[in-house]
């Protein structure tokens, strides 16, 4: 098959970029979307041109590195997958495709399709953990955890920290990311001691980083490669108000 790609190109240290078009032929429908970019880059290198810079590593939807907006959708057209899990069989022959970086005030573009997402690490840094020094843990079976709660905690802990929720949100809010971490720990007995403080600190840091506020459109949850539920945001809001009041 054959595709026409319009890819966002932006030089390092420059404020502006633009789309550039590339035609690419002899593609197999079984090829992954990132392999398509590999092939394009290999061609560009052979023509002594600068290849397209993009973040990637695991290529199986778990590391959260890849961060492409494909035809207006973060991670592309499918629910519950990351861009690296997208295959060309999802496109029509001769289709025109638009590829951009994840965009948000808090995610400045570094070069081409690479953005800076360190803000997400800084949110975790202020409280996204249970404070337990190595070696001080009690025997694992001393605290049973209701299976349903453990499963729900897992569903929230499944967040890969990619930032698709931010990229898709019209307010560039990081609410789903923060809510997932707060939910994961609030649902488990281990997370109780620091519950209030954690909520206050992480929410405050989210605001400080310049993420917008949530207006409940649910777009984040639909774009999330791990399909984290919008209910988590409601939980975060409850947690936040409870923490403020107590």
Partner 1 sequence: MKLSSHVPSGPLEQKWDRHCFELPLINPANKRKYQIIVVGTGLAGASASASLAELGYQVKTFCIQDSPRRAHSIAAQGGINAAKNYPGDGDSVRRLFYDTVKGGDFRSREANVYRLAQISGQIIDQCVAQGVPFAREYGGLLANRSFGGAQVSRTFYARGQTGQQLLIGAYSALMRQVDKGGVKLFPRHEMMDLVVSEGQAVGITTRHLLTGEVKSHFAHAVILATGGYGNIFYLSTNAIHSNVSASWRCHKKGAFFANPCFTQIHPTCIPRSGNYQSKLTLLSESLRNDGRVWVPKKAKDSRLPKDIPEEQRDYYLERIYPGFGNLVPRDLASRQAKFQVDAGLGVGSTGEAVYLDFTEAMNRLGKKSLSEKYGNLFQMYEKITGENPYKTPMRIYPAVHYTMGGLWVDYNLESTVKGLFILGEANFSDHGANRLGASALMQGLADGYFIIPSTITSHLAGCLPVSEEKKHISLRESEKESEERLQNIMQIKGSKTAGDFHRRLGNIMWNQVGMIRNKTGLEKAIEEIQNLREEFWKELYIPGEQSNKNAELEKAMRIADFLELGELMAQDALEREESCGSHFREEYQSAEQEAIRDDENFCHVSIWENKQNEKTWNLHKENLDFKEVPLSVRSYK
Contacts of 115 (CB under 8 A, 6+ apart): 67, 101, 102, 103, 104, 107, 108, 109, 163
By CB under 8 A, name the one of 2, 4, 23, 42 that touches partner 1. 42
User: Which single residue is written with the structure tokens 């590999």?
Assistant: 38
* CA–CA gap between residue 10 and residue 109 (Å, rounded): 8
Selection from 176, 182, 174, 177 nearest residue 209 by Cα: 174
Minimum gap (Å) between residue 172 Cβ and ligand FES:
21
Write down the least CB distance from residue 206 to partner 1, Å: 15
185 near partner 1, judged by CB under 8 A: yes
The piece of 16-24, 61-69, 94-102, 211-219 that touches partner 1 (CB under 8 A) is 61-69
Query: Smallest gap, in angstroms, from Cβ of residue 22 to partner 1?
Result: 15
- Helix orientation angle between 175-186 and 231-245, rounded to the nearest 10 degrees: 70
Residue placing its CB nearer to partner 1 in the complex, 154 or 216: 154
Q: Which of 20, 72, 150, 231 binds partner 1 (CB under 8 A)?
A: 150
Q: Residue 27 or residue 234: which is nearer to partner 1 going by CB?
A: 27
Q: How many CA atoms lie within 13 A of 81 on its CB side?
A: 15
66 binds, among partner 1, ligand FES, none (CB under 5 to 8 A by kind): ligand FES
- Structure-token pair, residue 209: 């980083």
Residues 6+ apart with CB under 8 A from 217: 169, 170
DSSP of 151-186: HHHHHHHT-----HHHHH-TT-B-HHHHHHHHHHHH
73 makes contact with partner 1 (CB under 8 A): no
Q: How far apart are CA 90 and CA 173, in angstroms?
A: 29
By CB under 8 A, name the one of 23, 93, 118, 207 that touches partner 1.
Answer: 118
The position carrying tokens 């907006």 is 69
Which residue's CB is nearer to ligand FES, number 86 or number 123?
86
Site for ligand FES in 64-83 (CB under 6 A): 64-66, 82-83
Query: How far apart are CB 217 and partner 1 at their closest, in Å?
Result: 26
Among 40-48, 61-69, 86-94, 196-204, the segment contacting ligand FES (CB under 6 A): 61-69
List residues near ligand FES by CB under 6 A.
56-59, 61-66, 82-84
């Amino acid at each position: 098959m054959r595709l026409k790609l319009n890819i966002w190109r932006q030089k390092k240290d420059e404020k502006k970029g633009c789309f550039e078009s590339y035609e690419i032929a002899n593609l197999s429908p079984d090829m992954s979307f990132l392999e398509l970019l590999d092939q394009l880059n290999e061609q560009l290198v052979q023509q002594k041109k600068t290849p397209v810079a993009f973040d990637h590593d695991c290529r199986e939807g778990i590391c959260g590195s890849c961060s492409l907006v494909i035809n207006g959708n973060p991670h592309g057209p499918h629910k519950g997958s990351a861009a690296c899990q997208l295959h060309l069989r999802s496109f029509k022959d001769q289709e025109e495709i638009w590829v951009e970086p994840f965009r948000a005030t808090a995610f400045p573009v570094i070069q081409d399709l690479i953005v800076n997402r360190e803000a997400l690490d800084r949110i975790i840094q202020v409280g996204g953990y249970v404070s337990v020094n190595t070696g001080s843990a009690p025997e694992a079976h001393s605290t049973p955890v209701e299976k349903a709660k453990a499963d729900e905690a897992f569903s929230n802990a499944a967040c890969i920290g990619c930032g698709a929720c931010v990229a898709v949100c019209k307010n560039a809010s990081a609410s789903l990311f923060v809510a997932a971490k707060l939910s994961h720990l609030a649902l488990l007995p281990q997370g109780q001691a620091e519950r209030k403080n954690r909520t206050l600190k992480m929410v405050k840091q989210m605001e400080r980083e310049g993420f917008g506020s949530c207006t409940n459109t649910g777009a984040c949850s639909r774009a999330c490669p791990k399909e984290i539920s919008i209910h988590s945001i409601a939980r975060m809001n409850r947690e936040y108000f409870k923490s403020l009041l107590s």
